Chains A and B, each alone.
Chain A
Amino acid sequence: MSTSLIDLQKVGMTYEAASGPVEALADISLRVGTGEFVSLVGPSGCGKSTLLRIIAGLRPATKGMVEVTGEQVTRPIPDIGMVFQAPILLKWRSILRNVLLPAELAGRDAGKLRDRALALLDMAGLGGFAEKLPRELSGGMQQRAALCRALLLDPPLLLMDEPFGALDAMTRDDMALELLRIWGETSGARKTVLFVTHSIAEAVFLSDRVVVITPRPGRVAADIAIDLPRPRTVELRASEAFGRLNFDVFRALTGRAG
């Protein structure tokens, strides 16, 4: 990798609970290069979502150094797109106005970004739903709208926290392909993506690298390069290489020696 967009060095996070201090993350060192698609895989409660919020500057780390684009993160950083497990669309706004929300929050002229928002919705297969209310869309469609919202201001960095976790298996696989297409698998200017999931297959299918995190406190157990060809296709899931990489991640997760 040429330049690293995210640079974490010995990051730790301890919070106070009723029963005393809890160490959620310990000694996390990780670099993510510009344009890389990196997944964080780990069991529930391993602190991977916390790590994502630390990188976004939404929660402070209690130890170590966090840098994004060479600058130390001390407060929420702009120029990121965030997608959460729930779409969290505003119920009273049309899909289009939901997608335009970041512009309004950031004090930008939403009117000028209307065409871009519509183009994003088109790309996500929601062209006919711009004027609908969120409740009129299925869960998968709502999550695609949330992805469009994250992409509106064209952020170089996408932070995704189990974005497909609430979807059924088939919709989930479709969304993975959709995400790769939107990410720009076939074009030159790829965004950097940090993708939190607990699905091994999803992580392997999407990523350039899969970082395995073990729980309590969360530590980096393995950093596995996914040397599968792009663009990734459905057929890839049946390949031997895909199976082997899945098993590698599985082994790292469960701590079994090869």
Chain B
Amino acid sequence: MTLSALVGRYWPTAALFALLLALWQLAVSALEIRPYLLPSPAMVWNALWQAGFSWWPHLWITSLEIVGAFFMAAIVGVALGTAVAWSPLVANALMPFLVFVNTLPKVAIAPLLLIWIGYGILPTMVMGALIGFFPVVINTAVGLSQVETDMLDLGRVFSAPKWKIFLKIRIPNALPYILSALKITATAAVVGAIVGEFVASQAGLGYVIANTQSSMNTAVAFASLIWISAIGLALYGVVVLAARLWAPWAEGVE
């Protein structure tokens, strides 16, 4: 997109955003809302850069957890999805368990994860992976299976072995489906990381938010939210870029 096209596409968003910010700032000063209830945008902006502590360790920990959860979900999801697509027997055996795990409220598992894995970033990663892996399983299985019968017949005519059909036809066919699921996983990984930090942690943006409850430093909580969404958006953007790069034939496939 050219610059003018970008401006044309996004100016309504930018205008609305600016308007809301202005209203917010105005409301806070005009109605004299106390900062611990609702800090002004200016205070949030200050907290983003100077919170009385360094953001870096928290940003680092949370990013690590999110990226770790994302890759865990991606690898486990693709592996399970492939197993499901490979053989109906595996699919029949596995699917009920996967659906069961998926229906469990993950937050309820968080304390168990702490008992089993211990404190640190690992249980938080597992948490994010648990929330985000299921769509990857489903989309991988669907993408690997949705190949025209005629195309498979073509493979049979040339007596192509099963692995070759997988490699040359099924896997490329599944790629857009997988990348589409990973967009959901990217968001789920963020949720998982924050939930994990809420339950037990000594660092991370979720930890910072939990602490503002006692310190009444609401501006810092707002600033944390902005940092979290920045990390989430960055990961989401990377997945979208990867989709454009690796599956350009499937632009717009969801």
B167-185 near A? 1/0 per residue, CB < 8 Å: 0110011010000000000
Contact of B160 among A86, A92, A105, A133 (CB under 8 A): A105
Contact of A91 among B154, B158, B250 (CB under 8 A): B250
Interface residues of A in 67-126 (CB under 8 A from B): 76-78, 80, 82, 84, 86, 88, 90-92, 101-102, 104-107
Give every chain A residue within 8 A of B157 (Cβ-Cβ). 56, 58, 76-78, 80, 82
Give every chain B residue within 8 A of A105 (Cβ-Cβ). 154-155, 158, 160, 164-165, 168
Whether the Cβ atoms of A82 and B154 lie closer than 8 Å is: yes
State the CA gap A92–B251 with chains docked (Å).
11
Whether the Cβ atoms of A135 and B159 lie closer than 8 Å is: no
Is B91 interfacial (CB-CB < 8 Å)?
no
Give every chain A residue within 8 A of B172 (Cβ-Cβ). 90, 92
State the CA gap A101–B247 with chains docked (Å).
19
Residue of A nearest to B150 (CB): A84
Whether the Cβ atoms of B151 and A76 lie closer than 8 Å is: no
How many residue pairs, one in A and one in B, have C-beta atoms under 8 Å apart? 57
* Interface range on chain B (Cβ under 8 Å from partner): 20 to 34
Whether the Cβ atoms of B168 and A92 lie closer than 8 Å is: no
Which DSSP category, helix, strand, loop or mixed, fits chain A's interface? loop
Residue of B nearest to A135 (CB): B249
Interface residues of B in 148-207 (CB under 8 A from A): 148, 150-151, 153-160, 164-165, 168-169, 172-173, 175
State the CA gap A133–B153 with chains docked (Å).
22
From A76, A92, A102, A107, name the one whose CB has the most chain B CB atoms within 10 angstroms.
Answer: A92
Q: Known contacts being A90-B169, A105-B168, A133-B249, is A76 close to B150, with CB within 8 Å?
A: no
Whether the Cβ atoms of A101 and B148 lie closer than 8 Å is: no
Whether the Cβ atoms of A86 and B159 lie closer than 8 Å is: no
Whether the Cβ atoms of B159 and A76 lie closer than 8 Å is: yes
Report the minimal beta-carbon distance from B17 to chain A, rounded to whole angstroms. 37
Give every chain A residue within 8 A of B154 (Cβ-Cβ). 82, 88, 101-102, 105
Contact of A88 among B151, B156, B164 (CB under 8 A): B151
State the CA gap A252–B241 with chains docked (Å).
59
Give every chain A residue within 8 A of B150 (Cβ-Cβ). 82, 84, 86, 88
Q: Known contacts being A102-B158, A106-B160, is A82 close to B153, with CB within 8 Å?
A: yes
State the CA gap A82–B155 with chains docked (Å).
11
State the CA gap A105–B163 with chains docked (Å).
11
State the CA gap A201–B130 with chains docked (Å).
61
Give every chain A residue within 8 A of B153 (Cβ-Cβ). 53, 56, 58, 76, 82
State the CA gap A102–B168 with chains docked (Å).
11
Interface residues of A in 39-79 (CB under 8 A from B): 53, 56, 58, 76-78
Residue of B nearest to A87 (CB): B150
Report the minimal beta-carbon distance from A132 to chain B, rounded to whole angstroms. 11
Report the minimal beta-carbon distance from A96 to chain B, rounded to whole angstroms. 15
Whether the Cβ atoms of B168 and A76 lie closer than 8 Å is: no
Give every chain A residue within 8 A of B155 (Cβ-Cβ). 105
Give every chain A residue within 8 A of B164 (Cβ-Cβ). 104-105, 107
Residue of B nearest to A56 (CB): B157
State the CA gap A52–B169 with chains docked (Å).
24
Q: Beyond A88-B151, A92-B250, A102-B154, list 10 extra A-B contacts (CB 8 Å).
A: A53-B153, A58-B153, A76-B157, A82-B153, A86-B150, A88-B150, A92-B249, A101-B154, A105-B154, A105-B164
Listed by A's residue number, 23 A-B pairs whose Cβ atoms lie within 8 Å are A53-B153, A56-B157, A58-B153, A76-B156, A76-B159, A77-B157, A78-B158, A80-B157, A82-B150, A84-B150, A86-B150, A88-B150, A92-B247, A101-B154, A101-B168, A102-B154, A102-B158, A104-B168, A105-B160, A105-B165, A107-B160, A133-B249, A135-B249
In order of increasing CB-CB distance, the 5 nearest A-B pairs are: A105-B160, A105-B158, A106-B158, A76-B156, A84-B150
Interface residues of A (CB under 8 A from B): 53, 56, 58, 76-78, 80, 82, 84, 86, 88, 90-92, 101-102, 104-107, 133, 135
